[in-house]
Amino acid sequence: MTALRGAATLKARSECKNKFNRPAPVLPIEGSYDFDIEFDKCRSKLAKGAEIDIKTSDGKSLTRLISIILTNKGTIIMKLRKPNMFGAFSKQKECIIMDLHSEFYKDSEAGKSETCYFIVLTTNKGMIKLDMMNNYEFYKTWSMGINHMLMLSTASTRYELQT
């Protein structure tokens, strides 16, 4: 009798062990696998940051070093710092990104009309416009990266609510 109980216990332990060794449930992401590789590059570029002209909701135009990260909790944090020579002494402001949309405008200062791009972010501290000037590749990298982070953020939040 004892041997049978021991065998049943070992069997139950192995099933439990196999249960934890299975891969975690993966949320499907629409799109191709190439975009996943590009997203990793975009994500690292956004985390590294760049010097970007911004316009705040109170009308101020500023130049800031901006980096954006997706946390483990599913929130998207934008970090804003003043550009200076000594990065260790700069203050950093953080805000949570909740939504994004794009705006286009024509820049006719240079004599010829060029299309310029804004990424408009809704944050917990108001609207912030990132001015991408006339650099379409820069605009595409930042907008696609932030948009993908927002999709992952909402998908992970929904998944956590369902479980």
pTM for this prediction = 0.68
Quick: pLDDT tens for 81-114: 988 766 566 778 999 999 998 888 776 665 566 7
Whether 119 contacts 142, CB under 8 Å: yes
Q: How far apart are CA 24 and CA 28, in angstroms?
A: 12
CATH level 3 topology of 32-162: PH-domain like (2.30.29)
Quick: pLDDT tens for 2-49: 555 666 665 555 543 443 344 433 333 344 445 555 778 888 999 999
Q: How far apart are CA 159 and CA 157, in angstroms?
A: 5
Task: In the chain, count H helices and then E strands.
Answer: 3, 6
